Chain A
Amino acid sequence: MAKTYDCLFKLLLIGDSGVGKTSILFRFSEDAFNISFISTIGIDFKIRTIDLDGKKVKLQIWDTAGQERFRTITTAYYRGSMGIMLVYDVTNEKSFENIKNWIRNIEENASADVEKMILGNKCDLDAKRQVSKERGEQLAVEYQIKFVETSAKDSLNVEYAFYTLARDIKAKMEKKQEASNPPGGRSGAHQLKANEQQRKPTSWLSRCSVL
């Protein structure tokens, strides 16, 4: 089947259970919200192709189970991912504190240069808020990760978050490519590689690889 995208990015959503990972994903992929999501067991993913500066970028977003008991399974997916969304729930202090653990988890399992982003979800529930936006920002500064508060329910910043992450991945990728191919001229090796990429479009690793 014809592949109609230029790049495939594999993203991952992690965070404590119940912070709204599935809702965020559902909002982004189907543009809908359902109050009664069931807990994610195992793994799932959704796909959406977005247009990024003229390039069609296919985002393959993996949704994981939140309970740390299942980390053994979910960490298996860290390795291949190019971007990770860390999600916490602004009405749940604990989930915010756990972001640090999740980051440590990423450092242990994901590739070193994976792009990250912190999302403070459920920011529509201002009355129940336990974690201020400032604290989120501070944490983000501390780890030098981008941060945004989102609401899957009100569709606030969800698109923005994914576009930002995707754009960062793309920028990083292009930078890498440039570094490996000095601007003096395109080497034959690169050309060969490009051909190779076209021949095997099914494997995402061969395309847009940041590894």
Chain B
Amino acid sequence: MSQKTTRGQDGNRDHYRASNCPEAALISARVLSAEGAPATRSASGVERRPSAPRPPLNKRGSGSLLSQPAPQSKYLWIRIALFERQLAKIIEHLVNNASRYYERDALVADPDYGSILSSLLVGPCALEYSKAKAPAYFWTDPPADELVQRHRMSAGTTTPPSVRRPILNFRRSLNASSDDGSVVNAGTANTSASSAKDYVESLHQNSRATLLYGKNNVRVQPKDVEEPMPGYLSLHQSAAGLVIKWTPNQLMNGYAESEGIDKSQFRWHLVHVSACPHKCILCSAAPCTVFRQRCAGSLCINCVYWAMSLQVCVWEVVYVHVHRSKASDALILVGQDGVQRPPIHFPKGGHLLSFLSNLETGLLPHGQLDPPLWSQRGTGKVFGRGKIRRRPLPSLCESGESEEPDWEEVAGDYVFRIVNNAITDREAMRHSLLERVVQSPPRTPRRPLASTSTTSSDSSTMSVDCPSTGVNGHTPTPPPNPIVEEVASIELVCSTMRRQIISRAFYGWLAYCRHLSTVRTHLSGLVNPNIISKEGIESGLTEEIWRSMMDNRGVVTDKDEVYRIVYYGGVQHDIRREVWPFLLGYYEFGSTAEERMEQDMTYRRQYETTMSEWLCVEAIVRQRDREATAASIARLTESSGKPRPEITEPNEVFEDDCSVISDNPPIVSPEPSENEQRKPESKPVLSRAPSIDEVDNIELDSEEKEKDVDKLNGETETIDSRDVDSLNDLEEDDKVCIKSVVENPDMRRESIAEIKRLAEGFVQKGEGRGLLCSVDSGNANLNGNDMRSSIDEVQPDTHQQHTSVIITNPSVDLAPSGSPASGGTTANVSPARSPLGVVREESHSAGASFDTLEPSDGRPDNRSNCVSPASSNGGVYSNELVESFALNLHRIEKDVQRCDRNYPFFTDENLDKLRNIMCTYVWEHLETGYMQGMCDLVAPLLVIMKEEASAHALFSRLMHRARDNFPSGQAMDAHFADMRSLIQILDCELYELMHAHGDYTHFYFCYRWFLLDFKRELLYQDVFAAWELIWVARHVASEHMVLFIALALLETYRDVILANAMDFTDIIKFFNEMAERHDASAVLSLARDLVLQVQTLIENK
């Protein structure tokens, strides 16, 4: 407290002066900006630190800051410095230069206290305050992390099996039924369970108990351990009185962290329930279940630490001994029975004193330390400065009485007595207990009998037990009955009991049998009947193993072995690219390397052909979009005040073209004149520039042109004769601009860029006019060794295979708006894609504008067909098709843009690939269309395969199974149903909780898990492993591995879920917060164990 005020006064005085300290300069700049512009602070705060969330100072404090500026701003710099984690550095600077800033007698100028102050602040400055929330938040909705941490500490307290129904494992349940002693044990385990949970709760500041003092790395030497262990010492004030607790760090941190430290001490191993010979002697219940514990011999690992932890009720302590030495300060608590607790070693530096003062404060008003720490000295009012009057331990320190050495410096031994104010009460109590007479319960929560035990459970058990013992003891013995009556009644009781026991046993057995038969019927479909063992698998599929399995032609035959290795060990990352196509069934096992290369090649060609198809449509879509945008913007500017009905909107803007068409489709009479007017002004620009002057390699191919134009005419004729006329008018101009680009790819790239550039210019000039550019992609390299070199001039006979791409002003949407996807696509993709033999460009303004200006709500059959002149499949796309693709395209783009952007792989270039794969797939499956989540499924494949076509191949494979998970399929409901039965059977306790809350047996909280195969739940490298497991599991263990992984996730946190009695919302929140923080390898191995469990169960019919 005093430190704080010191900081405030001294620091405030000086913080402007400390300009030669860089941190201080930074902070004072912040303070100035905060003070100067409180209103705009929120915006500027974001700009300054775009990555970090704004500290709550701004968030919540803006109102209060305005209302009471004076005191707030005085300390504002401290808060800001704390948020910026610079406070310690500033204070250190101040201390080092104290002579300049402070009077000699200032606290900061003191060589000791100054440095203590600055080093004390290092701790607070290490905390991240910007994420801090209102304190209430922590009490009501602890974040998932905290829940997990709390659980780790109380993990030993799983519900004993006697409470559970018989579970899957036979041997286990047989043991339980034969073991009569387990009932007794279960009872104690139960209480220890509940008290341990309370214990964990109570370590945190909560509504029931106030945390008076907490210090970490306080060392205590429990018995059976060679040297003192560090732990967390805390002092709590609860309704029941003061409690001192010490918890080993291993419990505080959870065993995940402690594993490394303690491996030498305990041999831990993951064991299957049935395989573990041990039984924890403390919690007896779960020596080591396969689910969540590791075996550590006679004690389960949690109980080992639990046994070490201390929990002492202060009222049970009579004497507090303090042994001070050079090395450390030790404190020993001695109970009423004279038994000593293990010494508690405090680190040097006043911690012990501070603990004692807190203890003394906490004892008030019912008790006190005798002698008191500092109350009578007057000087002791300053925290930590108290000179202490103490009573030296007579046996140890004879001369101590007269001296009063400085507490901080001198070693010595002291003893305090904890005095209860109602001391006479206690004396009376003792006496009365001896006499077996119970008085009224004591005013204070002090226990009349000292508990000798220090384990966590016992002190709280005592508090319950003592009074009742007293009462029982006091109950007068029943009046003596006639002997006959007694015998009869005892016989009666015995027989009743016998009957009850037998019937219970029978019904238990019956229920168990029924249960098992349900299990078998429900589960037999979920797993494969044969158990394939893990024998001999240590490392997973490494490159070495993989190569050794491959013969010299690259043939891998032993697919079962591959599956088995991958199932148990995964694939080494470097060879994933090679192995995944096998795992997904794209490559056949038994194929040679050559065959696979061939397959790749063919697939790539197919892929490119498909792609060119949809690129055509994309171009049309782009054009429409542009117009729609223009329409909205136009409307926005034109009539901001009076919005019109939406349906007529597109028409209104493009009145000249569209309204006529939509009103009267076949007749376009009013329009052409306009078209012709525009033609002359726009045409020449396009045609002149590139074709002859600038691009040398572009040669005029009049033959080609003629052909195309003829074809074009033929097609357009069917649409609108008027259009054809206009087209024919254009012919002369067209001659110039029809180009065929040949020879090398670089050239082509150039020319495409050129075309784009021109198109841009063209579109700008002849706004709304479509530029038609057909890109023939054929199998120019049918023999295909070097794709590039084989590209020649287009042969007329390859024409049939060609598909065409209409690029309607490709650059308009893209280039200006900076979207990488659209404009770049054609440029990036087509050059790399070799089969593009010829790029021809035609300006076809009349036709294109006619098509694309079709109002989007137009009738499907009003001949608004899109023309692609050289297309092999006729090149006519129905309006319907275009629209549905447009819809998909927009969705894809939206999702691709935000897919895993924080993963470095996804640069714009790779996002483009992702988009292409997605579009191609959707184009092939237009009836299902794009569904959110598909991007997530492609992303990891692309990361591994790196190349579009093969990623697409794998994705198509993957979707065979995954498709059904999407809303259009049925698999999700089946998954939920299976999950329900699995949980019901494997963990009925959890099932009951879910059932009790009623609303989440539908399992929507695992929707995302199944939809994306856990892609969002795990980190990328873990996703790879999980996916491999899922893929190969169908050949090894279970076709529904996803279920078992989901179950494993649920089981991993089952105790957290149970302990907090989570309802549906809690569980959703929990798992959403835990996303990407799971211990994937543990979850996956647990999933395999679960499969094995079910398999064993079914096998043992």
Residues of B within 8 A of A155 (CB): 42-43, 46
Binds A, one of B95-103, B136-144, B339-347: B136-144
How long is the Cα–Cα vector from A76 to B967 in the complex, in angstroms? 14
**CB-based nearest B residue for A93:** B632
Stretch at the interface among B229-237, B847-855, B929-937, B1030-1038: B929-937
Select from chain A the residue with minimum beta-carbon distance to B136: A4
Q: Looking at the complex, which one of B59, B632, B931 makes contact with A131 (CB distance below 8 Å)?
A: B632
Complex Cα distance, B52 from A33, in Å, reads: 9
Query: A130 at interface (Cβ–Cβ under 8 A)?
Result: yes
- How many whole Å from B966's CB to the nearest CB in chain A? 7
* Contact status B54-A31, CB under 8 Å: yes
B932 touches A39 (CB 8 A): yes
- The answer to whether residues A49 and B134 also contact, given A4-B140, A41-B1011, A130-B629 and a CB cut-off of 8 A, is yes
Quick one: which of A32, A69, A131 contacts B54, CB cutoff 8 A?
Answer: A32
Interface residue tally on B, bucketed by range: 35 or more
Interface string of B114-138 (1 = CB under 8 A from A): 0000000000000000000010110
Check if B632 sits within 8 Å of A130, measured CB to CB: yes
Task: Say which residue of B139, B206, B894, B936 sits within 8 Å of A17 (CB atoms).
Answer: B894
Q: Does A65 contact B (CB under 8 A)?
A: yes
Interface size on A, residues (CB 8 A): 47
Contact A47 B1008 (CB under 8 A): no
Q: Which of B42, B629, B901, B967 contacts A72 (CB 8 A)?
A: B967
| In-complex Cβ contact of B43 among A4, A44, A138, A154 (8 A) | A154
In the complex, B437 has a CB within 8 A of chain A: no
Contact residue among B42, B43, B633, B898 (Cβ-Cβ distance under 8 Å from A38): B898
Is A45 a contact of B1069 with CB atoms below 8 Å?
yes
A73 close to B1007 (CB less than 8 A): yes
Report the minimal beta-carbon distance from A141 to chain B, rounded to whole angstroms. Answer: 11
Question: A137 → chain B, closest Cβ, in Å?
Answer: 9
Measured in the bound complex, the distance between the Cα atoms of B895 and A67 in whole Å is 11
Tell whether A43 pairs with B136 under 8 Å between CB atoms, given A73-B1004, A76-B1004.
Answer: no
Is the CB–CB distance between A39 and B59 below 8 Å?
A: no
Question: Binary interface profile of B, 625-641, with partner A (CB < 8 Å = 1, else 0)?
Answer: 00011001100100011
CB of A2 within 8 Å of the partner chain: yes
Across the interface, B636 reaches (CB within 8 A) one of A42, A94, A132, namely A132
The answer on a CB contact under 8 Å between B1008 and A4 is: no
Contact (Cβ within 8 A) B139 A1: yes
Which residue of B140, B640, B1007 contacts A134 across the interface (Cβ within 8 Å)? B640
**Complex contacts, B59 vs chain A, CB 8 Å:** 31
A70's contact among B646, B932, B1016, B1069, by CB below 8 Å, is which? B932
Q: How far is the CB of B560 from chain A (nearest CB, A)?
A: 35
A113, CB-defined interface residue at 8 Å: no
Least CB distance, A38 to chain B, in whole angstroms: 5
Whether the Cβ atoms of B932 and A132 lie closer than 8 Å is: no
Partner of B901, one of A36, A131, A138: A36
Q: Identify which of B42, B206, B932, B1072 contacts A69 (C-beta below 8 A).
A: B932
Flag if A44 contacts B1072 (CB, 8 Å): yes
Q: Which residue of B lies closest to A97 (CB)?
A: B646
Q: Which residue of B lies closest to A46 (CB)?
A: B1069
Which of B43, B46, B1065 makes the CB contact (< 8 A) with A60? B1065
Which residues of chain A (123-180) have a CB below 8 Å from chain B?
Answer: 129-132, 134-135, 138, 154-155
Residue from B633, B902, B966, B1065 within 8 A of A36 (CB atoms): B902
Q: Which residues of B have CB within 8 Å of A33? A: 46
Is B183 an interface residue when CB atoms closer than 8 A count as contact? no
CA distance A154 to B44 in the complex (A): 10
Q: Which chain B residues (9-61) contact chain A, with CB distance < 8 Å?
A: 42-43, 46, 53-54, 59
**B1007 — which chain A residues lie within 8 A by C-beta?**
41-43, 73
Give 8 closest A-B pairs by Cβ, nearest first. Answer: A36-B901, A130-B632, A18-B894, A42-B1007, A32-B53, A42-B1008, A135-B643, A2-B207
Mind listing 9 A-B residue pairs with CB under 8 Å?
A: A1-B206, A17-B891, A17-B932, A33-B46, A41-B933, A44-B1072, A131-B632, A132-B636, A135-B643
A residues sitting closer than 8 Å to B (CB atoms) are 1-5, 17-18, 30-33, 35-39, 41-45, 47, 49, 56, 58, 60, 65-67, 69-70, 72-73, 76, 93-94, 97, 129-132, 134-135, 138, 154-155, 202
Q: Assuming A44-B1072, A130-B629, what are 15 further A-B pairs, CB within 8 angstroms?
A: A1-B207, A3-B140, A30-B53, A33-B46, A39-B899, A42-B1008, A45-B1065, A49-B137, A49-B140, A56-B136, A66-B932, A69-B966, A132-B640, A132-B643, A134-B641
